[in-house]
Structure 1
């Protein structure tokens, strides 16, 4: 398959060395693994984003509830959409280094921008889920996703969609998956990427037709009476006085969903004992009242998955995304 992207030289340099041996920590009398120093909890982006916020709130919850004898220190390693951090974790191969991630772990690898994907690490747990939404201006002619896709089945080029993420990434692909399930020719869809904060304005001023975004962003405009949410990517309606009024794609006959999961991964060669240690810590954190308050404050849904269920979920999502990306010509592996 022809490469569509080139791995930047900096990543090649980072990845050139062989993986370091696993640093084992210690095993107590009962055979349970224990870390022998503080945990480096990597957020693969700059401070302030979703990865950073999730990692810091988890670390705070773990500390407040004394769930570990070692501290969980959040370290930001931005670059390459996460690829710099993934290279760092893979090279060190140390169970004292873990990281938070979400669907870009799929997208960056599938586009050929990083040699590392989820299978190169150890999925520990998934903790939360966000969902996407598709919204139009309040006076737009479409009132449902099916009405929108009916027009797009006739001529996909008559509708322009906008999102914050780059082509082949989150906002673009969640729209593509739903359009594909609705029978639209996804190779002809017009998608505009606006990473400078003007996407919502472009819909409101009529420059583009549809925005693919997060539920919270779309709901804010809909509450204000400026936009209509045609559908959300969740498998069922969300809780909340206003959020519960937003229809899913599934209830409109579109057999698709897209979960913006956020979970924790470890290095490639973790032992069963090391994995069990982290699974226990994060499960307790997820079930704590303190983290329930965090989820409510940030509008996150709880979607806990242990290692096996999380791995199976990632396998399924990867297959769907890879097929769609290849049809669009973004396949880079």
Structure 2
């Protein structure tokens, strides 16, 4: 004969079930998962610029955050946080500590490949989730307006005769974006790139400050980082690294025009922590795709000299694999790979 359970036992089971249900709901709320629909963020999104203010990463983070917020393309506020140091490694280390956290993103560019290849970071691009590639821009090779070097050939000639005689500032670490952009250009001009004195700073803003302060003889930085100073007459742009002239630095010749067979595009994009779900990646991928088509973004890109080069998560991941292989070869050629 079947006998019902005592009321006390029944109550205990019910209470336990309720506790488990509440715990599940709490966990669901913490991740923003609804269980039966697309994922959406449930709290502000911490948006890391792995460098100081004023540089390319900072500009990209603040510009994209503003457009995403103002165009209502994300459901929570994007809060930009600067974490400078190590050519980006400090910021990457921070993100790596928050695996599977969908409320943290960071802006990125070639240093995510170059710094690890040079042995300067514990993390590699494989430790993160690609979200989207957004744009490209050229590097600019600059000197102070009163510098005796009027052309890139003038600078290269001096470096040929005495590679250690000049110092060149860059906004990324040894073996990283600006360093490789410099090394590749001077090597193509016949200079022993391994002997050129490269002085790293945390971001293009700091590199330009060093140049203007007379602490270095030249600098290399993204075109958008030097445009204001070039227009004010504070610096002279000797050349840009792209195949065609930059829309925001139309008077600056390309390296090719200067007789140097070297082209280097700076791509920029967004990544997140490792372990994000397909739904979380899709949410951000869709937001950024809509962002690059928005009038406000188009207007800002024109001012900053950015060229739209959107790739979704999967395509961006393949691009990173290809770039990693290519840049590994460049670092080896100029003696920078460890």
TM-score (norm 2): 0.72
Structure 2 equivalent of residue 281 of structure 1: 287
User: How far apart, in 1, do the equivalents of 2:147 and 2:64 lie?
Assistant: 41
Against the structure 1 CA distance between its residues 41 and 297, is the aligned structure 2 distance closer, same or farther, given a 3 Å change threshold?
A: farther
SS for the counterpart of 1:245 is coil
For the aligned residue pairs, the C-alpha RMSD in angstroms reads 3.5
Structure 1 equivalent of residue 83 of structure 2: 78
SS for the counterpart of 1:264 is strand
Structure 1 equivalent of residue 19 of structure 2: none
User: Following TM superposition, by how much is the alpha carbon of 1:121 offset from its aligned partner in structure 2, in angstroms?
Assistant: 1.3
Structure 2 equivalent of residue 213 of structure 1: 221
Q: Can you give the 5+ residue segments of structure 2 that lack an aligned partner in the other structure?
A: 1-29
Structure 1 equivalent of residue 152 of structure 2: 145
2:46 is the counterpart of 1:41: yes
Higher-Rg member (1/2): 2
User: How far apart, in 1, do the equivalents of 2:130 and 2:280 lie?
Assistant: 12
User: How far apart, in 1, do the equivalents of 2:61 and 2:162 lie?
Assistant: 40
Structure 2 equivalent of residue 184 of structure 1: 191
Count of paired positions: 300
1:2-42 CA distance string (max 9 Å, x none): xxxxxxxxxxxxxxxxxxxx95724546xxx3225135232
2:107 is the counterpart of 1:100: yes
SS for the counterpart of 1:34 is coil
User: Following TM superposition, by how much is the alpha carbon of 1:71 offset from its aligned partner in structure 2, in angstroms?
Assistant: 0.4
SS for the counterpart of 1:162 is strand
Identify the match of residue 236 of structure 1 among 230, 236, 244. Answer: 244
SS for the counterpart of 1:198 is helix
User: Following TM superposition, by how much is the alpha carbon of 1:289 offset from its aligned partner in structure 2, in angstroms?
Assistant: 1.0
Task: Give yes or no for contact 2:183–2:334 (8 Å, CA) kept in 1.
Answer: no
User: How far apart, in 2, do the equivalents of 1:167 and 1:250 lie?
Assistant: 25
User: How far apart, in 2, do the equivalents of 1:79 and 1:150 lie?
Assistant: 34
Structure 2 equivalent of residue 110 of structure 1: 117
SS for the counterpart of 2:250 is helix
Residues 143-182 of structure 1 aligned to structure 2 (within 5 Å) = 144-146=151-153, 148-149=155-156, 152-153=159-160, 155-157=161-163, 160-165=166-171, 166-182=173-189
User: Following TM superposition, by how much is the alpha carbon of 1:265 offset from its aligned partner in structure 2, in angstroms?
Assistant: 0.5
1:39-68 CA distance string (max 9 Å, x none): 523214477344344333323322322223
Task: Give yes or no for contact 2:143–2:238 (8 Å, CA) kept in 1.
Answer: yes
1:250-291 CA distance string (max 9 Å, x none): 344433233333211122233444322221110101111122
Residues 231-270 of structure 1 aligned to structure 2 (within 5 Å) = 231-240=239-248, 243-270=249-276
